[in-house]
Amino acid sequence: MQEELLREGMRAAVDDEPPLGFSPDDLVAEGKRRQRRRRATIGAVAATLVVLAGAAAVPGMMTGPTPIVPAAPQVSAVKPIEWPPKGIAPMNLPESQLIAEGERIRGHLAEIIPKVDTAAFNVTTTQPHGLGPGLGTEAPATVVVRAGFQYALVAMGEEVRLPMQLTVVVQGPGTAPVQLAQSCGDGEPTQVLLGCTTRVLDDGSILVEGATALASVGEDGPTTHIVRHFRTDGTVVSATASHTAGPEAAGLGAYRQLHVDRLDLIATDREIALKD
């Protein structure tokens, strides 16, 4: 409705009435003043919001994108087994059965070495003796199997074949004299320990990976890797790998031994165990 029509309508409505105490013109003028005030207030608020939004964006433009916080590492909740396990009766197998078990393990080892390490060839396995060292007066339940093979690698553009020696020792439940605190290395006074790592596997069993070298030459000489698997049933399987090469192995560094992760596959193989 236009202002003039509003004024005329209000005048006509009040012509015959007593004075109202206000002027229609004043009423219209007051309405216009309030309208202008509302518009000014809304404009000020909008401008303030724009300024705040711009201020919030400035640090981002100055410092670059917000850094991504890395996820916290996941900690395994697997509890390691208690060693030695409680309630495990020492295994007591007759010599004939131990020799038979050694033959079974020897045949299995001959099959898996080329699969575990495709660089291995000319694999031969032997069972030096069916019985290993006993524990006190208990009948021993230990089998030792050795494997010899050639290890092919390329060094400085030429293929080098290193003779390797792998020894696997299986100690039945309750017969392993090796304790976790003494499981790094082989305890020989002529050897120096280069490193040792302990890992807990999904079933709670414990895997100890160690590396040793001759104390007289240290890291510059041949390296021997020893992996021991402390199993939940009380069995301990040790896999030791070293090379028997001479001058042809000089300068080959980390290539001079079977890789630890491949030794892990052998030490944790469930077929490499004594079965009564």
pLDDT of residue 11: 60
Q: Which helix (H) or strand (E) holds 25?
A: helix 24-63
Cα(229)–Cα(232) distance, integer angstroms: 10
Q: What is the mean pLDDT of residues 35-47?
A: 60
Q: What percent of the chain has pLDDT over 90?
A: 20
Q: What is the mean pLDDT of residues 4-26?
A: 57
pLDDT of residue 124: 86
> Per residue in 236-248, pLDDT tens?
999 998 876 555 5
Range of 13-27, 50-64, 134-148, 216-230 with top mean pLDDT? 216-230
By the 8 A CB rule, do 160 and 150 touch?
no
Say yes or no to pLDDT of 202 above 90. yes
Confidence of residue 270 (pLDDT cuts 50, 70, 90): very high
Q: What is the mean pLDDT of residues 77-106?
A: 86
**∠ CA 223-228-233 to the nearest 5 degrees?**
170
> Per residue in 205-230, pLDDT tens?
999 998 887 777 666 666 788 899 99
Say yes or no to pLDDT of 6 above 60. no
Say yes or no to pLDDT of 65 above 50. no
Confidence of residue 44 (pLDDT cuts 50, 70, 90): low
pLDDT of residue 199: 92
CA distances from 164 to 72, 84, 120, 121, 128 (A): 42, 32, 9, 10, 17
- Give residue 68's identity as a one-letter amino acid code: I
60-76 per-residue burial string, b: 16 or more CB within 10 A, e: under 16: eeeeeeeeeeeeeeeee
For 196-203, the CB contacts below 8 A with 24+ separation are: 200/76, 200/78, 200/79, 200/80, 201/78, 201/268, 202/78, 203/78, 203/232
Say yes or no to pLDDT of 70 above 70. no
Say yes or no to pLDDT of 96 above 70. yes
Radius of gyration of the chain from its Cα atoms, rounded to whole angstroms? 42
Q: What is the mean pLDDT of residues 4-23?
A: 56
pLDDT of residue 55: 46
- Is this prediction's pTM over 0.95? no
